[in-house]
Amino acid sequence: MNSHGQNEQQVVWTVVGTDIGPLLLAATHDGLVNVVFHATDAVRDKALDRLASRLGSEPAEAPDSPLLAEPICQVTAYFAGERRDFELPLDWSLISGFNRQVLRELASGVPYGAVVGYGDLAGRVGQPGAAQAVGVAMGSNPLPVVVPCHRVVERDGGIGGFGGGLETKRKLLALEGVLPEPLF
């Protein structure tokens, strides 16, 4: 335990270049704990401070850590079009309650190349009137791309919002064949 009475756990991180920009990947012994879009220095530093506060341990940059080897490999393969499903241990400690329930359903029940509506996803977790709450859960997803919140869209065919930006969401959906590739 640290001086705040929290259990400390090792947190390692690295930044991986992708077609949607740099992604910060952070892992603990339990699994991948955080994926952060647009991991410029300022975004990265803010994310690492948040992780340290939430997990009680200062994250260590460790691109060669065995804890990150498989996440790096699978994320790289996904963006190369060589992987459709992530098979990684996930550390869900940054999210709880309804949001965790929704994200677990999303991770297991909405495959590559498919989309689901906010309301449909709410219904899958037994809360058919909770479409807006599903939107909140998507916005708080600590594991975007791996837990595919980009696959959640509006009922009327709109693509909805996205914490990584709409252009990033479009690129991810195009990669998965849901949308056409941008012309330029």
* Residue 126 clears pLDDT 70, i.e. is over it: yes
Own/partner pairs, 22-29, CB within 8 angstroms, 24+ separation: 23/75, 23/145, 24/48, 25/68, 25/71, 25/72, 25/75, 26/51, 26/59, 27/65, 27/67, 27/68, 27/71, 27/91, 28/55, 28/67, 28/91, 28/93, 29/67
Other C-beta atoms closer than 10 Å to the C-beta of 61 total 11
Q: Does the structure show a pLDDT above 80 at 182?
A: no
Candidate from 5-9, 65-69, 97-101, 133-137 with smallest mean pLDDT: 5-9
Residue 68 has pLDDT above 90, yes or no: yes
Which residues does the annotation mark as catalytic? 149
**Angstrom distances, CA of residue 10 to CA of 29, 67, 172:** 7, 10, 30
Check whether 132 has a pLDDT greater than 70.
Answer: yes
Q: How sure is the predictor about 6, in pLDDT bands with cuts at 50, 70 and 90?
A: very low
Kindly state the tokens that stand for 149: 């919140």
Question: What is the identity of the amino acid at 142?
Answer: P
**pLDDT score, position 84:** 96
Residues 6+ apart with CB under 8 A from 177: 113
| Greatest CA separation for the chain | 54
Query: Average model confidence (pLDDT) for the chain?
Result: 93
Q: What confidence tens digit (pLDDT) does each residue in 141-169 have?
A: 999 999 999 999 998 888 888 989 999 99
Question: Strand pairing of 60-61 and 12-16?
Answer: parallel
